[in-house]
């Protein structure tokens, strides 16, 4: 039997035949980066190869001075006799699957991906292969997303309701990918949209790459006396509870993430409303993507990898989990690391804390320990 084309090493996924890494978690000589999220893109590698639309985002992540070679989707290159090409993964701007071909054998490393439509990036492209290394962040059948358009309507309805009671809609979302998707998907006629500085940096990179996004000024640049009561504010989850949020009077907090599918996660995040919106494939999309590759061997890198692998084995595939250090969707780390216990208590009926709560809940005065997040 041949050596595997891609193997798991201490530094990350490694292609020995081509002597390069894919999404290494330690600095290496040559790294192919599937996308610019922190758990896939490490700084201080000597050379980077990434899909052309994501070049700017990767430079933001690993530094402008880094040696980053952009490669157009579908363009093949040969390195040490190994054929490499990048194909859209539909996850965020510039996200790519890595197709590796050597001596007639084809492997594909998916990175993170989704199949549902997203106006801010190229759609997922199915690539035939012998072996598919797939993410499985949401690899349980409880994760099945509603069409994103329906979720966008829910966000719009929530925003309007908050406006009617004169309260700011503070929507927490990952600054890279989710924020831009929301900006592109929500009805701009409802009111003004402002963003946190971390989101603005990503928006600028998207605009520079030619993605059309609505105007959404940073909160700090908004005019004094800006009408935040009518506004939708997009901010990363780390902004919650910081003094930065103090400028909004009694904000209603939402959180957009696939993890919001579970009521318990939303409660632990202490937000008022959860929107199920993910840049990761849900259970059905994972199964469809895996079937679409025609692969007989499947490795699952992160998320519910054990369960997904067992399910695929029951269906006759040679499927195994692969212990990478990818974490998947931000906001669910604690859940992915230690799934909730089987008997998580519900809120008790006669919760003394709830009973003592006045109409003005103290949760509006969260401690300002963290300061403004970077």
- Residue 316 touches another protein, criterion: CB under 8 A: no
Restricted to residues 79-108, the positions that interact with another protein (CB under 8 A) are none
- Residue 141 touches another protein, criterion: CB under 8 A: yes
Token pair belonging to 23: 């999404």
β-bridge partners, 122? none
Cα–Cα dist 78/85, whole Å: 9
- Asked if 167 contacts 159 with a C-beta cutoff of 8 angstroms, the reply is no
Nearer to another protein, 13 or 312 (CB): 312
Cα–Cα dist 188/186, whole Å: 6
Cβ of residue 261: shortest distance to another protein, in angstroms?
7
C-alpha dist (Å) from residue 331 to 74, 116, 175, 336? 32, 20, 12, 10
Give the one residue of 9, 69, 161, 361 binding another protein; rule: CB under 8 A. 361
Cβ of residue 246: shortest distance to another protein, in angstroms?
19
- Residue 249 touches another protein, criterion: CB under 8 A: no
Cβ of residue 288: shortest distance to another protein, in angstroms?
15
- Residue 30 touches another protein, criterion: CB under 8 A: no
- Residue 164 touches another protein, criterion: CB under 8 A: no
Indicate the Cα dihedral angle 208, 20, 40, 148, nearest 10°.
Answer: 70
| Total interface residues for another protein by CB under 8 A | 37
- Residue 337 touches another protein, criterion: CB under 8 A: no
- Residue 145 touches another protein, criterion: CB under 8 A: no
Cα–Cα dist 272/253, whole Å: 5
Cα–Cα dist 215/206, whole Å: 12
Cα–Cα dist 48/166, whole Å: 48
- Residue 262 touches another protein, criterion: CB under 8 A: yes
Nearer to another protein, 9 or 306 (CB): 306
Cβ of residue 258: shortest distance to another protein, in angstroms?
12
Place of tokens 């003592």: 356
Question: DSSP characters for 26-95?
Answer: S--SEEEES--STTT--S--SEEEEEGGGHHHHHHHH-TTS-EEEE-TT--EEETTEEEEEEE-SSSTT-
- Residue 327 touches another protein, criterion: CB under 8 A: no
- Residue 294 touches another protein, criterion: CB under 8 A: no
Cβ of residue 159: shortest distance to another protein, in angstroms?
15
Nearer to another protein, 121 or 290 (CB): 290
Determine the interface stretch with another protein among 91-99, 197-205, 210-218, 261-269 (rule: CB under 8 A): 261-269
For residue 179, the surrounding DSSP H or E stretch is helix 178-185
CA angle, 151 then 156 then 158, to 5°:
95
Determine the interface stretch with another protein among 23-31, 120-128, 137-145, 241-249 (rule: CB under 8 A): 137-145
Residue numbers of the site for another protein (CB under 8 A)?
140-142, 144, 261-264, 266, 270, 272-273, 304, 307, 310-311, 314, 335, 339-344, 346-351, 354-355, 357-359, 361, 363
């Amino acid at each position: 039997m041949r050596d595997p084309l891609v193997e798991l090493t201490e530094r990350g996924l490694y292609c020995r035949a081509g002597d390069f890494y894919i999404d290494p978690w330690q600095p290496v000589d040559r790294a192919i980066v599937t996308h610019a999220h922190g758990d896939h893109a490490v700084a201080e590698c000597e050379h980077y190869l990434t899909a052309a639309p994501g070049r700017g985002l990767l430079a933001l992540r690993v530094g402008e001075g880094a040696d980053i070679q952009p490669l157009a989707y579908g363009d093949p290159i040969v390195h040490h006799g190994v054929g490499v090409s990048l194909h859209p993964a539909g996850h965020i701007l510039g996200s790519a699957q890595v197709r590796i071909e050597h001596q007639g054998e084809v492997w594909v490393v998916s990175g993170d991906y989704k199949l549902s439509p997203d106006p801010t990036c190229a759609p997922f492209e199915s690539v035939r292969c012998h072996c598919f290394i797939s993410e499985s962040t949401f690899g349980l059948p409880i994760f099945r997303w509603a069409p994103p358009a329906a979720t966008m309507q829910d966000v719009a309805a929530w925003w309007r309701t908050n406006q009617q009671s004169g309260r700011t809609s503070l929507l927490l979302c990952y600054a890279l990918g989710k924020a831009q998707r929301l900006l592109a998907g929500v009805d701009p006629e409802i009111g003004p949209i402002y963003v946190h500085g971390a989101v603005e940096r990503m928006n600028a990179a998207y605009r520079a790459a030619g993605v059309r996004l609505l105007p959404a000024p940073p909160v700090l640049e908004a005019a004094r006396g800006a009408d935040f009561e009518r506004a939708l504010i997009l901010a990363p989850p780390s902004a919650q509870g910081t003094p930065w949020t103090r400028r909004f009077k009694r904000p209603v907090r939402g959180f957009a993430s696939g993890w919001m599918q579970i009521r318990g996660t939303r409660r632990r995040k202490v937000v008022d409303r959860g929107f199920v919106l993910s840049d990761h494939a849900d259970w059905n999309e994972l199964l469809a993507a895996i079937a679409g590759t025609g692969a007989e061997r499947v490795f699952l890198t992160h998320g519910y990898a054990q369960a997904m692998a067992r399910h695929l084995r029951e269906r006759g595939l040679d499927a195994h989990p692969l212990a990478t250090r990818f974490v998947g969707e931000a906001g669910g780390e604690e859940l992915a690391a230690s799934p909730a216990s089987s008997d998580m208590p519900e809120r008790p009926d006669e919760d003394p804390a709830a009973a003592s709560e006045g109409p003005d809940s103290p949760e509006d005065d969260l401690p300002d320990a963290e300061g403004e997040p970077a």
